[in-house]
Structure 1
Amino acid sequence: MGESPTFAALERFMAAQWNFVAKPKAFYHNDGYFFITFCSMHDRDNVLSSGPYMFRNKPMIPKMWTPESDFGKEILQTIPLWVKYPNLPLSCWGADSLSRISSVLGTPLFADECTSKIEHISFGRVLIEIDVTRDLKRNTTVLDPNGRTFEQKVEYDCEPVYCAKCLVVGHKCSPVIASKTNPIAAKPRAPKLKQVWHNKERTIVPDTM
């Protein structure tokens, strides 16, 4: 999100952040996209499941390529987001249960390693492709394997801003808000007054002499 990085900057990022896989190869597209190929699908999945990634203090969003992908027409609206389920009951930590819960939010892709191996039980964490043009859900109703219904809280590692006017992720057009540095913004403009000229009547005083 934000300004597109240079090719050299992206290569430095991959060398530093993705050093746990074989060196991938990047290709730049003039529309502002980078295509990245990995030596194996295992390397690709490891990179996708190890996020989120930040580039120049802004979220970097890797999306999996498919034969149906058309980057000339694609508008970045459905993007992968890491979702947390705080205090998720242990009966719902199976792959099937996590998939069913996550399907309410979008298309589930991966659970992180700690969630898959149940190495911590504070929260479950899943990477889900979510349509950010809609309001993000804050909770969802879950039916556990025992038939009990409960409300599960939903948290997001990052919440990208979507501009419905420009149809892009990363900013949002909004009206100017007044502040101490810009107090004029709060004051409505005074209507312009239209000047109308009138002939002034003359009073004639009779001569008494």
Structure 2
Amino acid sequence: MRIWGNHGLLEVLANDKGFYFFKFSDDETSSKVLEAGPWLFSGRMVCVKLFNIPHECWNEKGLSHIASAVGKLLYADSLTESMKRISFARVCIEIDASCDLVDSFDLFMGDSSCLEHGENMEILVEYQWKPKRCAECKCFGHSITNCPKLKPLLSPSENVSAPKLN
């Protein structure tokens, strides 16, 4: 409601399968919201560079599999899709706030993969931007020092004084 509350959002409904339904005051506002997407609610979209991708994996299935070690693949840039630049793949992914960001991972794929059976490869990940992430509540948008769930045990009061000790 915070994002669209001032723009005609009337109601948010949820079903037991995890789908959300948004009711707006008019069709024009609803269309604007749909066209402005994608909207991510439990994650953040970030662009990453993936290095050391084997040539055999430069296809939709291979890149999707590799990117899944970091998050959910949303799309690849045009140079990656056309293989005009093969030193790295630039992809946009949705990352989950409850998971740690990885800087590298080992790629091991079996018989039905883009690698020969038994090969192992270290994939390096470079983030173009890392969103603030709270280690306490596992959400994006703030760090642990500003976590609203962590309230100070004592809050100072203006009219309270401690007794004097002799």
Q: Identity over the aligned pairs, expressed in percent?
A: 31
Q: Specify which of 34, 50, 56 is matched with residue 85 of structure 1.
A: 50
Task: Give the structure 2 partner of residue 63 of structure 1.
Answer: 38
Q: CA RMSD in A?
A: 3.4
The residue correspondences of 1:164-175 to structure 2 (distance < 5 A) are 169-174=140-145
Q: Specify which of 130, 138, 150 is matched with residue 121 of structure 2.
A: 150
The residue correspondences of 1:88-167 to structure 2 (distance < 5 A) are 88-143=53-108, 144-147=114-117, 148-163=119-134
- 1:123 Cα shift? 0.6
How far, CA to CA, are the matches of 2:48 and 2:91 in structure 1? Answer: 5
How far, CA to CA, are the matches of 2:163 and 2:139 in structure 1? Answer: 41
The structure number with the bigger radius of gyration is 1
1:163 match: secondary structure: coil
- 1:142 Cα shift? 1.0
The amino acid that maps onto 2:90 is R
How far, CA to CA, are the matches of 2:54 and 2:46 in structure 1? Answer: 22
How far, CA to CA, are the matches of 1:166 and 1:102 in structure 2? Answer: 25
1:108-142: CA deviation from partner (whole Å, max 9, x where unpaired): 12121110100111211222211023210111111
- How many residue pairs get matched? 122
Flag as ranges the 4+ runs of structure 1 deviating above 6 A: none
The amino acid that maps onto 1:134 is C
How far, CA to CA, are the matches of 2:138 and 2:69 in structure 1? Answer: 24
Structure 1: gaps spanning 5 or more residues = 8-25, 29-33, 39-61, 65-73, 176-191, 197-209
The amino acid that maps onto 1:195 is L
The residue correspondences of 1:48-59 to structure 2 (distance < 5 A) are none
Structure 2: gaps spanning 5 or more residues = 8-27, 109-113, 147-161
How far, CA to CA, are the matches of 2:121 and 2:104 in structure 1? Answer: 10
- 1:167 Cα shift? 6.7
- TM (norm. structure 2) is 0.58
How far, CA to CA, are the matches of 1:133 and 1:161 in structure 2? Answer: 12
How far, CA to CA, are the matches of 1:95 and 1:85 in structure 2? Answer: 14
Of structures 1 and 2, the one scoring higher in RCO (CA 8 A, sep 6+) is 2
- 1:164 Cα shift? 5.2
Task: Give the structure 1 partner of residue 152 of structure 2.
Answer: none
- TM (norm. structure 1) is 0.48
How far, CA to CA, are the matches of 1:27 and 1:122 in structure 2? Answer: 43
- 1:170 Cα shift? 2.7
